[in-house]
Structure 1
Amino acid sequence: MHYKELKQAWAQLTAPGAPFEIAEVEVRGVKLRAYKNAPPSVREFWLSTAAFGERDYLVYQDERLTYAQAHAQVAAVANWMLRQGVKPGDRVAIAMRNYPEWLLIYWACVCVGVAAVGMNAWWVADEMEYALQDSAPKILFLDRERLQRVHERPAMAEGIKLVGVRIEDAPAGLTPWAEVVATGGPLPEVKVDPDDDACIFYTSGTTGRPKGAQLTHRGCINNLFNLVFSGQSQALATALGTGVPIDPNAPAPIPVALLTTPLFHVTANNCGAYLVTAAGGKLVLMYRWDAGEALRLIEKEKVSAMSGVPVMSRELLTHPDFAKTDTSTLLSLGGGGAALQPDLVAKIDEQVATARPNTGYGMTETCGIITSVSGDLFVGKPASCGPAMPNFETRIVGDDGQELPQGQVGELWVRGAPVIKGYINRPDATAQSITDGWLHTGDVARIDEDGFIYIVDRKKDMVLRGGENVYCAEVEACVHHHPAVAECCVFGVPDTRLGEEVAAAIVLRPGQELHVEALREHCEAHISKHKIPRYVWFLKDPIPRNANGKFLKRELRETLKLDDAQAVLV
């Protein structure tokens, strides 16, 4: 399966003078591995894509935007923001669906040293208010649905300039998008430091509130280089293994990617959008995920790559229209944000004649991928998520904090240029998660003799529902706010479609009653719908605990049967 050849390819591509040469740089007092040839900031990267001119860049329903048009609008947005008094180092928030404007605002922000705050579009008013207070943006770009959340709680947007995107009948106090892009002008000249914040992406916190991760320009660019390196190293390994050389004069194919996951996540933004933009490719956006619509777009736009959470690939393959849809342009199909199950790896390889399976493992805290694998290398080790990229050092660490020998199971720690600066306003959380540059991933793993990583469990108390991290503590805190609840324990249960679903065991206070409809209503006011428990058991006995007073979640998973759930929230 060319694992020996992969090591040879790796050595060739990262050698001194090679395109992916690795150097050590000092960042925040720690020496980190980074790509020597990486541009210093995302600004330089975006400017380089102006060369793609009249190629299609963004496609959304019947709308098309070329690279030239996108560059003009990005410059206009940047000029408008600076005229509003926004300065490098400030923050600007984006709260909307995957509209083309999302990416235009993002590129405008990073080009003038402003951190783009990606607001989770699933958030309810309570969550949105928290993130706005935490990140303190000067401007909030939002669509109609997010504007409704602001109207529910107007105080959350006090002191923030609001811009309405795709809101034709803009109410007073809301600047219309058309006014912003009418500003025009060339992109302002701004010097951006590699370690400035490029964006703030929120990741659910174990303490009940999400944490704003600071993704730097250096981290985002190093993640892009990881993505490109992964493709080139595996192609070179295959060439070395088969004896069929790569033609250096062959024109590079122009990628067409279907973006299926939200742009406020690193999966769609830092991995999907960055990689395709770097190659001058076309990004096809969707209003919401629908397997039938995805198949239609794959055929119409000649999509070459689709990556989302694994359930999306599975739903594509099992859709009634799959057999009659032309998917011959697909070259890769896979998933991230959750493990790609071994059976799905085989199904992709067998059912899509032109496509090879691929996956990556990463985190918001690493600006994107830590590992990546595809094709024969993935088929040969379908339970693995691939080797860590060259700008990462890796450790497997035991409970005592000591590094374990190769092959043993422990927590995965990684260190390298893509690791975030920290969490805004949360020095305690930063200190707990990052030690001397080493990020504690919270994932239990092992590394085999070829350097391939296998994620075997999670150390963190969370449910991975369709690629979304749902932290049990956050949901428990919400349920406990209900006056009828005495105890609540939230945990994950297996789900064939989403991988895991959220479940809760609840003990009520003496003499209290709580109906499932009232519980749902209570939860909807405080947390996003995807976090609300799908399965609920109202227990008469106290929830079992260990000697330290912690709930025995494994025991609950084993003893509480889904068929016996006293209430099921749909």
Structure 2
Amino acid sequence: MYQELDQAWKQLTSPGQMFEVTTVDVRGIPLRAYANAPPSLREFWLSTAGHGDNEYLVYRDERCTYRQAHAFTASIANWLSVNGVQPGDRVAIAMRNYPEWMLAYWAITSMGAVVVGMNAWWVAREMHFGLEDATPKVLIADAERLQRFTDIRDDFPGLKVVGVRIDHDLPAWATDWYELINAPAEMPEASVDPDDDACIFYTSGTTGKPKGAQLTHRGCVTNLLNVAFVNSVQPAALALARGESPGGQSAPAAPSALIATPLFHVTANNCVAHAVTLTGGKMVHMYKWDPAEALRLIEAEKITAFTAVPMMAREIMMHPDFATRDTSSLQSIGGGGAAMQPDLVAKVGENMRGARPNTGYGMTETCGIIAAVSAEFFVDRPTSVGRALPTLEARCVDPSGEPLPTGDIGELVVRGAPVIKGYLNRPDATAETIVDGWLHTGDIAYMDEDGFIYLVDRAKDMVLRGGENVYCAEVENALFHHPAVAECVAFAVPDERLGEEVGAAVYLAPGEHVDAAGLREHCKEHIAPFKVPRYLWFVDQPLPRNANGKFVKRDLREQLRVEDAS
């Protein structure tokens, strides 16, 4: 079937085909791109008006069609324009996965402004950093985020604020969301360049401060077509392997996707929401993750695609309701944001009636996916994340940046149209991460003779907790803020549910005292709850160091036992 995969890949990307690949010059670097990609998210969104009365956004008993969504986005964009937002200006969104997130997103990007996706987990201090770094003209926030902003509002006197789903009296300094959607439905004219910023998504920083990745319109629409390519090439290859014509397959029905991960990340926003919107499908939102509710929605809404972090797929299949709920509508189940364990790949194949396993490997810095694999290809190679997609060159390099032979392990670097412009206000970090157009992923990998990528380790000091990046420096900085802490290191602890959890070893200053509960409460004042160490070890000796004076985390991890943690 790999010969058929090569054949389908070549056919779909050849001249005159939908996924024809060309080369474009971006900031002086020749990059792979799709010849037929729309020039911007504005053109893409406006093109979906033809989906008309198809259901688009579903939340509890609320339902919104494409026709209604286009009217709402035109109204929102009009209000923003009247209130001083111009192309290139930034508008921050801070909320749960409400339908308003997507409506605001399409309105902002379609008028040529820039979405600042704020992590809904952020505490007020982190929110302050994001607003100060991105300098948006408007903040659109739900009730919880609005309350956090209230604590720091005095530092942002000129920021216009819009309140979404406010269940109490709206502050006098905020505007109600209903004013936006009731504005005249007239989308402002805008000329959007493919290399203009579309959105700023924040990634955790190795120095303890988040970095605002600048996702361009070119990058986002290229990722959209990469997802569409994945959904086309592997079924076409399997059809060829069965002796069928790939073009003879009936067109699949518009998908129905359950949005289970945050829309301020590329997995849910760029890979799921964009792809569903392209095909006129339906997005079903959840207030928060709950496997029982997910199973109910899969049955009730006839969900066809479930893409989330692997632990969510595992929890669905392990839940007591799994045996009694109808999940036959599911055609694919899998995810990204964390490695999908080989046993889970097998369990999907064994337990799901019609769904096939899939996984995508990507980064915020590539506007979404780098590689993907599904169905029989994934079952056959469950430890792989698939091939790099047509618009991305990929190779493994040694510490000096030299390419390595096939099969040799090194850092994975990629280059192509989906790679971000850089990090907002961080030319140093941009220059370190993107060299001659090549993005250094920080992941250690090797590639086989068929071009399939296998991840081995991470070069970056990071915990990947349920799809959320937690850089150890962030955790350590928060711990060091406590006066009793003399030394500390944070590191990843394997976790069956989340993939990894945050652990930390702490050495207290002589004569000082703080217990685990007190230290965790302290951390919550400085970092989001998911970054707070679940495992804490209080050691009675200074932490081990190497000859350069750096803490030796690997040795610590091997010495410390989970059962001894507080």
TM category (shorter chain) comes to over 0.9
Letter in 2 for 1:77: I
- Structure 1 window deviating more from structure 2 (76-85 vs 169-178): it is 169-178
Letter in 1 for 2:495: D
Structure 2 counterparts to residues 87-486 of structure 1, below 5 A: 87-168=86-167, 169-246=169-246, 248=248, 250-486=250-486
**Pairwise CA RMSD of aligned residues?**
0.9
Letter in 2 for 1:375: A
Letter in 2 for 1:208: G
Are positions 1:34 and 2:33 aligned together? yes
So what's the TM-score if we normalise by structure 2? 0.99
Supply the distance in 2 between the matched residues of 1:533 and 1:247 (Cα, whole angstroms).
52
Aligned residue in 2 for 1:562: 562
Aligned residue in 2 for 1:22: 21
Contact (CA 8 Å) 1:257, 1:303: kept in 2 or not?
yes
Aligned residue in 2 for 1:75: 74
CA shift at 1:18, angstroms? 1.4
Describe the superposition over 1:546-566 as per-residue Cα deviations: whole angstroms up to 9, x where unpaired: 11122111111111001111x
Supply the distance in 2 between the matched residues of 1:551 and 1:247 (Cα, whole angstroms).
58
Contact (CA 8 Å) 1:73, 1:184: kept in 2 or not?
no
Describe the superposition over 1:357-416 as per-residue Cα deviations: whole angstroms up to 9, x where unpaired: 000000000000000110000000000000000000111011122111111000000000
CA shift at 1:276, angstroms? 0.3
Describe the superposition over 1:190-235 as per-residue Cα deviations: whole angstroms up to 9, x where unpaired: 1110000000000000000000000000000000000001111101
CA shift at 1:490, angstroms? 0.4
Supply the distance in 2 between the matched residues of 1:54 and 1:539 (Cα, whole angstroms).
62
Contact (CA 8 Å) 2:12, 2:18: kept in 1 or not?
yes
Are positions 1:525 and 2:525 aligned together? yes
Supply the distance in 2 between the matched residues of 1:254 and 1:247 (Cα, whole angstroms).
18
Supply the distance in 2 between the matched residues of 1:40 and 1:20 (Cα, whole angstroms).
15
Contact (CA 8 Å) 1:76, 1:180: kept in 2 or not?
yes
Q: Helix, strand or coil for the counterpart of 2:321? A: coil
Aligned length: 565
Supply the distance in 1 between the matched residues of 2:456 and 2:34 (Cα, whole angstroms).
30
Aligned residue in 2 for 1:54: 53
Supply the distance in 2 between the matched residues of 1:522 and 1:395 (Cα, whole angstroms).
43
CA shift at 1:153, angstroms? 2.2
- Unpaired segments of 5 or more residues in structure 2? none
Percent identity, aligned pairs only, is 63
Letter in 2 for 1:121: A
CA shift at 1:156, angstroms? 4.1
Contact (CA 8 Å) 1:508, 1:538: kept in 2 or not?
yes
- Structure 1 window deviating more from structure 2 (250-259 vs 430-439): it is 250-259
Q: Helix, strand or coil for the counterpart of 2:236? A: helix
Q: Helix, strand or coil for the counterpart of 1:321? A: helix
Letter in 1 for 2:392: F
Supply the distance in 1 between the matched residues of 2:204 and 2:279 (Cα, whole angstroms).
32
Supply the distance in 2 between the matched residues of 1:356 and 1:244 (Cα, whole angstroms).
20
Letter in 1 for 2:346: A
Supply the distance in 1 between the matched residues of 2:247 and 2:219 (Cα, whole angstroms).
31
Supply the distance in 1 between the matched residues of 2:293 and 2:201 (Cα, whole angstroms).
28
CA shift at 1:247, angstroms? 5.1
Supply the distance in 2 between the matched residues of 1:338 and 1:20 (Cα, whole angstroms).
28
CA shift at 1:3, angstroms? 1.2
Supply the distance in 1 between the matched residues of 2:124 and 2:491 (Cα, whole angstroms).
25
Contact (CA 8 Å) 1:366, 1:418: kept in 2 or not?
yes
Q: Helix, strand or coil for the counterpart of 2:257? A: strand
Contact (CA 8 Å) 1:150, 1:156: kept in 2 or not?
no
- Structure 1 window deviating more from structure 2 (503-512 vs 129-138): it is 503-512
Supply the distance in 2 between the matched residues of 1:190 and 1:400 (Cα, whole angstroms).
44
Describe the superposition over 1:282-310 as per-residue Cα deviations: whole angstroms up to 9, x where unpaired: 00000000000000000000000001000
Supply the distance in 2 between the matched residues of 1:249 and 1:492 (Cα, whole angstroms).
45
CA shift at 1:248, angstroms? 4.1
Letter in 1 for 2:36: N
So what's the TM-score if we normalise by structure 1? 0.98
Contact (CA 8 Å) 1:387, 1:453: kept in 2 or not?
yes
CA shift at 1:497, angstroms? 0.7
Contact (CA 8 Å) 2:523, 2:532: kept in 1 or not?
yes
- Structure 1 window deviating more from structure 2 (23-32 vs 547-556): it is 547-556
Are positions 1:503 and 2:503 aligned together? yes
Supply the distance in 1 between the matched residues of 2:19 and 2:306 (Cα, whole angstroms).
26
Letter in 2 for 1:491: F
Supply the distance in 2 between the matched residues of 1:325 and 1:156 (Cα, whole angstroms).
50
- Structure 1 window deviating more from structure 2 (408-417 vs 517-526): it is 517-526
Contact (CA 8 Å) 1:150, 1:157: kept in 2 or not?
no
Letter in 1 for 2:559: T
Describe the superposition over 1:118-172 as per-residue Cα deviations: whole angstroms up to 9, x where unpaired: 0000000000000000000000000110011012222243211000001152121
Supply the distance in 1 between the matched residues of 2:250 and 2:403 (Cα, whole angstroms).
45
Supply the distance in 2 between the matched residues of 1:185 and 1:318 (Cα, whole angstroms).
46
Letter in 2 for 1:332: S
Supply the distance in 1 between the matched residues of 2:300 and 2:446 (Cα, whole angstroms).
42
Letter in 2 for 1:433: T
Contact (CA 8 Å) 2:72, 2:185: kept in 1 or not?
no
